[in-house]
């Protein structure tokens, strides 16, 4: 598929370019996180409202980034905003026990079937860090089994094989854990084993070999860090079975899927009783709040009832908790939001598939609920190894050309290693249809 003849964006990004020149002098790459940089410079956003974001040049886009999935109700959604505005008047960081934390904890415990207790922190990375430390303390073992491509945060425990790179990743039946960063502790390499997502046979082998040393198996119940990769039939069940068999804890990392696909997350709804669940992102509709959750017998190992250190100045801060209560309340009282999001997701995916079919472009759309992915590939993506070459670069030529086209037409898809989009409850059918139409125009030009 050639895209060389496609037009470049006509919209002006002059102020973004200028900001980038300033920003890179004062911050590495002009950004505050690797996921935000892209060539030739990021589009610097100024504001978000509902389903839209506006950049510093005044261009308005329908937003399919949704804060890496954190925006579920919509940017600054009216009722959520009113709740936050009330809260901000009366102190945001009490950093002491408070009533609102109790209220949110009770709500989550009542909404999620297989947990008795929750503990609040701020980011998904913190949540997985605490979950793994808890698993190590309880089992007295050190090793973690994680799946290639699954992303659980930036810390040394989990920053392994977050992308599949054929030059260093080893064969599928003998994968090599690849550090995602320099500067990681040497000992961390001895504490992780990897396995392909959805590869039940290899999972059995890894557990056969390392089971006695495993503290935990950690898994994304839907593999959104490769777009939309569903767990194959029996895969999550196998994660549960092998963990139980070898005495490791199963951690369902629902930092994306929790709340976004239902309050209880994905694993519990599929009948998988994980020992620890982590949540983050959308739980407070875009204010930092993350959750470690589990049965009392697990959670009570955290201090002060147990001996596992759990602390943080901003844990359960009043702003995050108010945002969490507002968002969770809304989802509890209006569960039809999920039906709406799923219908919108199906509409978008179906529209894209039709458009691809009509244009004769060999690409795939995978979608679940409010998340969709478009892969310029002709085979299904079932694991990190199936990702097209864009799985290791943010600037794959086909993906970049499509994104630029869509930006020009008023749709923001965040440059990532593949094309992934999130919907929020403020998106409309008209916006989705317009997006499909603009995509269809793009595909038509590609096939011309």
Contact call for residues 281 and 422 (beta carbons, < 8 A): no
Smallest distance, ligand PLP to C-beta of residue 398, A: 24
Q: Report the alpha-carbon distance of residue 212 to residue 141 in Å, rounded.
A: 8
Q: 3-state class of 223 per DSSP?
A: strand
CA atoms within 13 A on the CB side of 88: 8
Six token digits for residue 182 = 């320099």
Q: Which residues of 189-213 are buried (b: 16+ CB within 10 A; e: fewer)?
A: eebbbbbbbbbbebbbebbeebbeb
CB 338, min distance to ligand PLP, A: 19
Which residue, 218 or 248, has its beta carbon nearer to ligand PLP?
218
Please provide residue 3's backbone torsions phi and psi, each rounded to the nearest 5 degrees: -130, 10
Segment 104 to 163, residues that bind ligand PLP, using CB under 6 A: 123-125, 128, 151-153
Stretch that binds ligand PLP, among 236-244, 253-261, 361-369, 420-428 (CB under 6 A): 253-261
Residue number with CB closer to ligand PLP (253 or 275): 253
DSSP string of 319-358, one letter each residue: HHHHHHHHHHHHHHH-THHHHHHHHHHHHHHHHHHHHHHH
Nearest distance, CB of residue 35 and ligand PLP, angstroms: 8
Instruction: Out of 42, 175, 221, 280, point to the residue binding ligand PLP (CB under 6 A).
Output: 280
Among residues 90, 164, 143, the alpha carbon closest in space to that of 319 is found at: 90
Q: Of 83, 148, 253, 275, which lies in the binding site for ligand PLP, with binding defined by CB under 6 A?
A: 253
Instruction: CB nearer to ligand PLP: give 19 or 292.
Output: 292
65 lines the binding site for ligand PLP (CB under 6 A): no
Per the structure block, which two tokens stand in for 78? 């009216």
Write the CA distances from 440 to 152, 350, 399, integer angstroms: 34, 12, 15
Closer residue to ligand PLP in complex, CB, 251/359: 251
Residues 163-222 that bind ligand PLP (CB under 6 A): 220
Number of residues that bind ligand PLP (CB under 6 A): 14
Comparing C-alpha atoms, which of 234, 195, 237 is closest to residue 214?
Answer: 195
Q: Which is nearer to ligand PLP, 114 or 123 (CB)?
A: 123
Contacts with ligand PLP, 329-368, as mask; x by CB under 6 A: ----------------------------------------
Beta-ladder partners of 55: 45
Nearest distance from C-beta of residue 152 to ligand PLP, angstroms: 5
73 within 8 A of 80, measured Cβ to Cβ: yes
The least CB distance from residue 177 to ligand PLP, in Å, is 17
Cα separation values, 133 from 136, 215, 391, Å = 5, 9, 30
Q: Nearest distance from residue 11's CB to ligand PLP, in Å? A: 28
Confirm if 412 and 54 have CB atoms less than 8 A apart.
no
* Residue 225 in contact with ligand PLP, rule: CB under 6 A: yes
Burial of 280 (0-12, 13-18, 19+ CB in 10 A): buried
Task: Give me the least distance between CB of 314 and ligand PLP, in Å please.
Answer: 13
CB closest to ligand PLP, residue no: 124
Is residue 256 near ligand PLP by the rule CB under 6 A? Answer: yes
Give 123 or 243: the residue with its C-beta nearer to ligand PLP.
Answer: 123
**Where are the extended beta strands (E) located within 266-404?**
276-279, 290-294, 364-368, 371-375
Closest CB 197 distance from ligand PLP, rounded Å:
12
Residue 416 CB, shortest distance to ligand PLP, in Å, is: 10
Nearer to ligand PLP, 19 or 255 (CB): 255
Q: Are 373 and 386 in contact (CB under 8 A)?
A: no
Q: Which is nearer to ligand PLP, 74 or 153 (CB)?
A: 153
The residue (of 128 and 320) whose beta carbon lies closer to ligand PLP is 128
Half-sphere exposure of 208 (CA within 13 A, CB side): 6
Q: How many residues does the chain have?
A: 448
Nearer Cβ to ligand PLP, position 218 or 363? 218
- Tell me the closest approach of the beta carbon of residue 34 to ligand PLP, in angstroms: 11
Specify the stretch interacting with ligand PLP by CB under 6 A; choose among 174-182, 234-242, 251-259, 411-419.
Answer: 251-259
Nearer to ligand PLP, 352 or 371 (CB): 371
Q: Which residues bind ligand PLP (CB under 6 A)?
A: 68, 123-125, 128, 151-153, 220, 225, 253, 255-256, 280
């Amino acid at each position: 598929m050639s895209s060389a003849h496609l037009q470049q964006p006509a919209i002006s990004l002059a102020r973004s370019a200028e900001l980038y020149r300033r920003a890179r002098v004062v911050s590495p790459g002009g950004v505050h996180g690797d996921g935000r940089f892209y060539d030739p410079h990021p589009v610097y956003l100024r504001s978000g409202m509902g389903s839209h974001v506006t950049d510093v040049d005044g261009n308005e886009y329908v937003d399919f980034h949704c804060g890496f999935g954190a925006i579920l109700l919509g940017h600054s959604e009216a009722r959520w905003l009113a709740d936050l505005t009330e809260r901000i008047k009366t102190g945001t960081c009490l950093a002491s026990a408070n009533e609102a934390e109790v209220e949110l904890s009770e709500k989550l415990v009542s909404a999620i079937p297989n947990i008795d207790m929750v503990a609040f922190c701020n980011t998904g990375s913190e949540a997985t860090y605490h979950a793994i430390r808890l698993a190590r303390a309880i089992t007295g073992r050190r090793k973690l089994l994680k799946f290639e491509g699954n992303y659980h945060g930036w810390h040394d425990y989990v920053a392994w094989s977050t992308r599949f790179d054929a030059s260093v990743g080893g064969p599928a039946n003998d994968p090599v854990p690849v550090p995602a960063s320099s500067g990681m502790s040497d000992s961390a390499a001895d504490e992780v084993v990897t396995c392909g997502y959805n590869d039940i046979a290899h999972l059995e082998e890894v557990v056969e070999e390392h089971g006695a040393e495993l503290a935990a198996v950690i898994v994304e119940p839907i593999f959104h860090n490769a777009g939309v990769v569903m767990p194959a039939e029996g895969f999550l069940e196998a994660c549960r079975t092998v963990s139980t068999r070898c005495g490791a804890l199963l951690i369902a990392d629902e930092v994306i899927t929790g709340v976004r696909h239902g309050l209880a997350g994905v694993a519990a709804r599929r009948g998988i009783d994980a020992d620890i669940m982590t949540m983050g992102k959308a739980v407070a509709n875009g204010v930092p709040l993350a959750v470690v959750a589990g049965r009392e017998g697990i959670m009570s190992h955290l201090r002060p009832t147990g001996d596992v250190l759990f602390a943080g100045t901003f844990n359960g801060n009043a702003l995050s908790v108010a945002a969490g209560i507002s968002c969770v309340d809304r989802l509890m009282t209006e569960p039809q939001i999920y039906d709406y999001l799923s219908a919108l997701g199906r509409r978008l995916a179906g529209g894209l598939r039709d458009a691809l079919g009509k244009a004769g472009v060999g690409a795939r759309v995978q979608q679940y609920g409010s998340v969709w992915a478009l892969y310029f590939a002709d085979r299904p993506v079932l694991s990190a190894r199936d990702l097209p070459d864009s799985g290791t670069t943010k600037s794959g030529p086909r993906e970049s050309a499509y994104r630029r086209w869509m930006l020009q037409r008023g749709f923001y898809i965040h440059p990532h290693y593949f094309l992934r989009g999130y919907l929020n409850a403020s998106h409309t059918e008209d916006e989705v249809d317009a997006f499909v139409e603009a995509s269809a125009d793009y595909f038509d030009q590609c096939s011309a």
